[in-house]
Amino acid sequence: MRHYFAEFIDDLKSTHGTNLASVILYGSAAAGDFIPHESDYNLLVALNRITPKDLRNAHACMREWNKMGHPIPVYFTVDELNDAGDVFPIEFHFMERARKVLYGKDVLADVKISDKYLRHQTEFELRSKLIKLRRTYIHASTDVEALIDLMAESLTSFAALFRAVLLLLGYEPPVTKEDIVGQTVLNLAINGKPFEKIFDIRENINFPTLDEVSANQLFADYLEQIEKVIEAVNSMETTYAE
């Protein structure tokens, strides 16, 4: 793992020098749930200080990294990480459970994560992705390939948020997205078939070719279950201790 990122980390060290405190890989690649050409390499870069000059100096190495198809890393100062555990509970829970330190110290080890706003952030993120899903579907609805891509890509995003749903329910989330979705389905007593079909398509497991009618029906079934998850999270508003 470190060997794969060695050149990029060398670029970061040259760019930031002693200001670079840590580089951490988090998410699916760190959890062992990485799918080539589908998943992203999510990186956290921690600096001791961040000024516009520090970010501007990173332009060259980030340009090359981005050309390889990877997203730009998240930049935090070490102090900000210690102060932000209550503002981004979903992200920090995600990093806490699936991370590999590629350089420097583990700056996440002592971050205090507060769940005070976890339910609110979870519902906000779920509803935001639902709104985006509906909007994107309008154009994808007449193109089977585009619709399949939409379902596969969006399920990856929703699965990450289902991890927070499980935390709200008092369960330790599994590692892989498929297991996270499966446990969410089980605990909320919803229909897991649409999710299973989309995972099969995403992972290229034997699955019947979809025509426009069957693809749109799968989307309708999928959307219905997403809405049920959001309804469940919304119902926690009066029961979840904030």
Segment 96-146, tens digit of pLDDT: 777 899 999 999 888 887 778 899 999 999 999 999 999 999 999 999 999
pLDDT for residue 242: 44
User: In 3D, which of 129, 151, 132 has the Cα closest to residue 210?
Assistant: 151
Q: What is the pTM of this model?
A: 0.72
pLDDT of residue 185: 98
- Residue in the structure block whose two tokens are 């899903």: 133
Q: What is the pLDDT of residue 51?
A: 96
**Domain 2-104: CATH architecture, name and number where available:** 2-Layer Sandwich (3.30)
Please, where in the chain does CATH 3.30.460.10 lie? 2-104
Sign of CA pseudo-dihedral 119, 136, 153, 70: negative
Element (H, E) at 75: strand 74-77
Residue with tokens 């339910």: 119
- Residue whose entry in the numeric block shows the structure tokens 């309804």: 231
Residues of the chain predicted below pLDDT 70: 1-3, 30-40, 205-207, 238-242
Instruction: State the pairing for strand pair 20-26/42-47.
Output: antiparallel
Residue 84: partners with Cβ closer than 8 Å, 6 or more residues away = 76, 92, 111
pLDDT at 230: 97
d(CA 156, CA 28): 10
CATH placement of domain 118-238: 1.20.120
Task: Give the residue range(s) of CATH 1.20.120 domains in the chain.
Answer: 118-238
